[in-house]
Structure 1
Amino acid sequence: MPEPTPLAKAELRQLDANFEHEIENDTWAKVQFNPETLKVSFANQVQTPSGGGDQRGTPARQFVGAGTTKLAVQLWFDVTGQPEGQSGAVDDVRLLTKKVAFFITPKKEGDKFVPPAVRFLWGSFQFDGIMESLEESLEFFSPEGKPLRASVSFGLTQQKITAFVFRPTDAPPPGAPRAPSGKPPGTTPMTPAPQGSTVQGLAAGQGKGGDWQSIASANGIENPRQLAAGQLIDLQAGVKLGVKR
């Protein structure tokens, strides 16, 4: 039986100050769950001239800057789904999100403090910029008060209008059914996903709505909110934790 195709995971990588070379790979951060969407926005810096001349009609606009390109991303982290290459139990989700937060933290360069340049990679998509904002929401806690799940929303910006960068990739097309990774996650029959279903919806139907992210991780599912019709899922998979709701 052929080996399943490895899941392409999005990643943040540090760049040098000239946005040319990837550096310090010990600071790179690989996501647990790939984002559902990526939002890229472009803006030119313009102003409307005032005073003088004929004021009738719509005033002409003048271009006054190089413009900006921005990328908005939301990621999910869960202590029940360990990042690749990490061993040992994690009982606080902030231990997983801190590698993303690294890129919002200014570093001293000469007499100035500036955030590191960062490259966001996912399959054929690449965006280079500076992390200008980051928001982390902690929403699920253990009886000891430790956060177990978090959503991290961040924005990258580049001080110019940039064209899309297409990287070569051998990843399968989006939505293609994927085999579960690693060892079989359970011994119960696999559940085929109906058209338009989600892991959260299927888990809720089995009374396991609070465990949908750990089920997705154990089954090696790239996008828990958009399943391919007929994709087989073990709804008994996932790590059980004692938590309060």
Structure 2
Amino acid sequence: MALTEKAYLKIEKSADNIPCMFNPSELTLSQSNDWDSKPAPGKGAPQISFKGVKSGTMSLSLVFDTTSTGETVTIHTNKVMALMDIDESLPGTDKTTRNARPPTVTFHWGNFHSFEAVATGLKLTFTYFSSTGTPLRAKIDLDLMQFKDPDQHPKQNPTSGTPEPHRVHRVKPGETLDRISAQYYGDSTKWRQIATANTISDPLAIRVGSLLSIPRNH
């Protein structure tokens, strides 16, 4: 199995975290903007207009393992699968208009905390079984889309409908928060924005290889 590290999923309105193992080489985040192009007959390239920021997306490959206890790994994977199911107990549900949605989820790994998201795709693969056929290890490939900004920043464009997601930085040897701040903001004194976003109490104790959420400058 590839080298993995402990992580967990936090599902909306659930009191329990879902433990998992995460391969840090498989974290993919994407961001895109919406531009409108209206070609006109007989003319060259048209002027395009900015329509807003689209929701951020993230893809994860998570491992769930219960070989140490012998319990079926479905005690964890079933909870993740429920991210695709409608939950009528969630805020915003209106049975008269049949308005309901699945729950949101956030991914946590060390100092990295994802934006609040909804699952748009999920693939479950059982990879190891006991001699009696009990599944003990599984992999879930999970596709997430940003639901709202974690810091509730104002929307970047009144027509976009979605806030702008944070960027992510992997800490390299010799890097410090003030150097990272200078890289992204052009100002080393704004390192506290990064520390606050990642709940870092000791700015000198950031771990090489860890992922930091980099807030948009404000």
TM-score range normalised by the length of the shorter chain: 0.5 to 0.7
Measured against aligned partners, the alpha-carbon deviations of 1:71-93 in whole angstroms (never above 9, x if no partner) come to 111011222145xxxxxx40x22
- Alignment-mate amino acid for residue 123 of structure 1: G
TM-score by length of 2: 0.58
The whole-number CA distance in structure 1 between the counterparts of 2:106 and 2:31 is 18
State whether structure 2 residue 82 is matched by structure 1 residue 102. yes
Instruction: Report the counterpart of residue 126 of structure 2 in structure 1.
Output: 138
Q: SS state of the match for residue 121, structure 2?
A: strand
Q: SS state of the match for residue 80, structure 2?
A: helix
C-alpha contact 2:32 2:53 (8 A) present in aligned 1: no
- Alignment-mate amino acid for residue 30 of structure 1: P
Q: Choose between structure 1 and 2: higher strand proportion.
A: 2
More moved, 122-131 vs 92-101 = 92-101
C-alpha contact 1:43 1:161 (8 A) present in aligned 2: no
TM-score by length of 1: 0.53
Instruction: Report the counterpart of residue 166 of structure 2 in structure 1.
Output: 163
Instruction: Report the counterpart of residue 149 of structure 1 in structure 2.
Output: 137
How many equivalent pairs are there? 151
Aligned-residue CA RMSD (Å): 2.8
Measured against aligned partners, the alpha-carbon deviations of 1:32-60 in whole angstroms (never above 9, x if no partner) come to x23323211001122321225x622x333
Instruction: Report the counterpart of residue 29 of structure 2 in structure 1.
Output: 40
Instruction: Report the counterpart of residue 12 of structure 1 in structure 2.
Output: 9
Instruction: Report the counterpart of residue 178 of structure 2 in structure 1.
Output: none
Change (3 A) 1:132 1:175: closer
Instruction: Report the counterpart of residue 183 of structure 2 in structure 1.
Output: none
Instruction: Give runs of ≥4 in structure 1 deviating > 6 Å.
Output: none
The whole-number CA distance in structure 2 between the counterparts of 1:80 and 1:146 is 10
The 5-angstrom pairing of residues 47-126 of structure 1 reads 47-51=36-40, 55-56=43-44, 58-81=45-68, 89-90=70-71, 92-108=72-88, 109-111=93-95, 112-126=99-113
% identity of equivalent residues: 25
C-alpha contact 2:61 2:140 (8 A) present in aligned 1: yes
Deviation at 1:120, TM superposition (A): 1.4
Change (3 A) 1:49 1:175: closer
The whole-number CA distance in structure 2 between the counterparts of 1:142 and 1:29 is 22
Q: Which runs of 5+ in 1 are unaligned?
A: 1-7, 16-22, 83-88, 177-245
C-alpha contact 2:31 2:56 (8 A) present in aligned 1: yes
Deviation at 1:175, TM superposition (A): 6.6
The whole-number CA distance in structure 2 between the counterparts of 1:24 and 1:147 is 24
The whole-number CA distance in structure 1 between the counterparts of 2:104 and 2:126 is 26
Q: Which runs of 5+ in 2 are unaligned?
A: 147-161, 168-193, 211-218
The whole-number CA distance in structure 1 between the counterparts of 2:43 and 2:68 is 62
Larger Rg: 1
Change (3 A) 1:101 1:168: same
Q: Match for 2:15 among 9, 13, 25?
A: 25
The whole-number CA distance in structure 2 between the counterparts of 1:104 and 1:146 is 24
Deviation at 1:174, TM superposition (A): 4.3
